[in-house]
Amino acid sequence: MANIDAKKTSVKRKHSEKEDAAPVALELSGLEMLTDEEDEDYNDSDDGEVDEFPEIDPSSDSEGDGLSEEEDGEEDDEEESDEEGYSSAESEINKRYVYFMSVFGIALRWPAKATNRVGDIPMHWYDDMPHIGYDINGKRVLRPATGDELDKFLATVDDPDSWTTAFDKTSQQDKNLTAEELDIIQRLHAGENPDANYDPYEPMVEWFTGKGKEEIMPLSAAPEPKRRWVRSKWEKQKIMKIVRAIRQGRIVPSKPKTTSKFEFYSIWSSEPSSSAPPSLPAPKPPLPNNAESYNPPEEYLLTEEEKKEWEEKDPEDRERDFMPQKYSSLRLVPAYDQFIKQRFNRQLDLYLAPRIQRKKLNMDPNSLIPKLPSPNSLKPFPYYKSLRVQHPKGRARCVSISPDGAWAASGDEEGVVSLWEVNVGCEVKRWKFDGKIGSVEWCPRQDVSYLAVGLEETIHFLIPPNVDNTVFAQTQSLLAPATLPAAGPTPSQVKWTSTSASSWPNDNPILSLGLPPSSGTPTQLQWHRKGDYVASVSTGGAQNGVWIHQVSKRHSQAPFKKIKGAVQLVLFHPTQPHFFVATQQYVRLYNLAEQKLIKTLMPGIRWISSMDVHPSGDHLIVGGYDRKLCWFDLELSEKPYKVLKYGILFSV
């Protein structure tokens, strides 16, 4: 009876649930979501009765479990919604919505915090925007705040678990990795299988091995097809293609490999050929002597001092490569300790021995040395100091020899010009000037005799004493003529000053020319071979102090308006109207008639000190302070034909 009553009550309960569910469903269809204010009015209008909720069948595990899970999920979602930052009105509506959906058994999972729903797209599209994407409702997901590198470093110091995070491009944040993910990363880094449960050494399953597992019937009982025993046409075409290629030579078969080993032969046992000269026999080893005997005489044995001296010497310096020893019988002789080394030296002797006999030439070594000429045949050349003269006070800075070689003129820093007679070595004449003497140069003409002296901004022309009357008269008429030549069309900055022959004293210069102001001291005076032109190089001036003076017409001109570099030396060509100008590192050759640059010589010297030209005009030598002497062939190249190494060159 109790069971019957229980069944009846359960049936009545089911009917009551169905009756109550119908009006609730109708009310649910007209349900409105109210705001917080409307919700308060709604509570006030309530009659105060408590609603009856449908009872839940405890026998239904699935429904009961589902309801409890939904309620738990509801509480979790409410906590998450509060943490997510929803408004109070939205939170209340969400709670009511979860409540009604859970009452009627509808599975509900409230979404977590708004995630980026942009999908699999390049995230660099949002680099210039304040947001990084959109959530499920279409709202922008703002970019999280990120610190600089210092903040990241401090965060890694403060957080010991910072190394277990990975950067998520979608959320632009660092997310913590789970233990499973860290385990997978470690396994991949170690080169292992990422699955922790994978066993690479698990026992093999024997499917067809063992008793009762043998295959009795074939997998297929179909008869053999015809293509198994009929040759394939496709294979025939491929084989014929290869055969044609071999016949035409496009495919070369590989050479058969030789399996024979390298054969060694004796180079001394070969028969001599008829064409080549006969080879020499192998050198024979030296025969043993008395010192190598096991029982040598007493005179061959070494004393203690000789043994010590033999051991201290190097093996190459020893007279013998063994030490003689004496034994009473042959059976007491031990094994030879130098046997392997001796055989090796024997092999070296055979390897290095000559195999062909060559005729040795008996030649006197002295006959190979060329015969040098006798020094007497090379004279005259200076081989001893014959004369020495000395200035009284100052240091001599320049010297010049007359064309006939009988006179020598020198100038010092005290302004003294001395005239010396070469044969006697005595001072014949002395001129005193105010200033340092920069250069002295004799005129190369043979019919006249005078010299030019350069000092500060002035050039003086002096006539030496004791000159032949004819030469003296011609020199005087050249430097101090009765009628002066007419002045040139263009006035010159150089002033010529001459003294008449009647009133000229012998101690003073007969002719002088004044260089422009600030020209400095003339460091070089260079005469033309005809003796009418003289070029001067001074230490200053607008044109680098280069002037060309014509004595017969009393005219001076500056050939250059501007020159690159500081001029060191100038030189006239002996046969052509060419003019050499040497700066510190270059030598330029100018044509004075055409007024143009012909070539630039590059001696490769850091500082040019001297220069001279051959009388033929085809060769030029240039010396420098860096101990180089360059020889130029003017018709060959702009670079030196030969460079010679000497000491510091002051003059050539």
Domains of the chain, start order: 1-110 (no CATH), 394-518 (no CATH), 559-652 (2.40.128.630)
Q: What percent of the chain has pLDDT over 70?
A: 76
286: burial class by Cβ within 10 Å (0-12, 13-18, 19+)?
exposed
pLDDT at residue 276, rounded to an integer: 60
* Tokens representing residue 31 in the block: 């349900």
Least confident of 385-389, 538-542, 550-554: 538-542
CA distances from residue 183 to 75, 161, 186, 194, 502 in whole angstroms, order as listed:
33, 15, 5, 8, 125
Least confident of 279-288, 457-466, 602-611: 279-288
578: helix, coil or strand? Answer: strand
Q: Tokens 């409702």 map to which residue? A: 137
* Tokens representing residue 1 in the block: 């009876």
Residue type, 629: L
Least confident of 47-56, 192-201, 548-557: 47-56
Least confident of 445-454, 476-485, 599-608: 476-485
Which residues 6+ apart lie within 8 Å of 581 measured at CB?
546, 560, 563, 567, 569, 570, 587, 588, 589, 590
pLDDT at 305 over 90: yes
Residue type, 302: L
Mean pLDDT estimate for the chain: 77
Closest CA relative to residue 167, chosen from 192, 136, 132, 197: 132
Least confident of 112-121, 285-294, 512-521: 112-121
pLDDT at residue 272, rounded to an integer: 57
203 C-beta neighbours (distance < 10 Å), count: 6
378: helix, coil or strand? Answer: helix
pLDDT at residue 308, rounded to an integer: 92
Q: Is the CB of residue 612 less than 8 Å from the CB of residue 652? A: yes
Query: Which DSSP string corresponds to 171-229?
Result: TTEEEEPPHHHHHHHHHHHTT--S-TT--TTPPPP-SS-STT----S-S--PPPPGGGT
Q: Is the CB of residue 603 less than 8 Å from the CB of residue 640? A: yes
Q: Is the CB of residue 71 less than 8 Å from the CB of residue 77? A: no
pLDDT at residue 236, rounded to an integer: 92
Q: Is the CB of residue 508 less than 8 Å from the CB of residue 500? A: no
Sheet with 555-557, strands from edge to edge, namely 522-527, 533-538, 546-550, 555-557
Given CA atoms 57, 61, 62, 64 in this order, what sign does their dihedral have? positive
Which residues 6+ apart lie within 8 Å of 196 measured at CB?
183, 187
Given CA atoms 66, 68, 74, 76 in this order, what sign does their dihedral have? negative
In tens, the pLDDT along 227-270 reads 888 888 899 999 999 999 999 989 887 777 766 677 776 666 66
The CA distance from 9 to 458, in Å, is 152
Q: Tokens 């009917």 map to which residue? A: 15
The CA distance from 542 to 546, in Å, is 9
pLDDT at residue 125, rounded to an integer: 92
Confidence of residue 334 (pLDDT cuts 50, 70, 90): very high
Choose from 179-188, 201-210, 489-498, 515-524 the range with maximum mean pLDDT.
Answer: 179-188
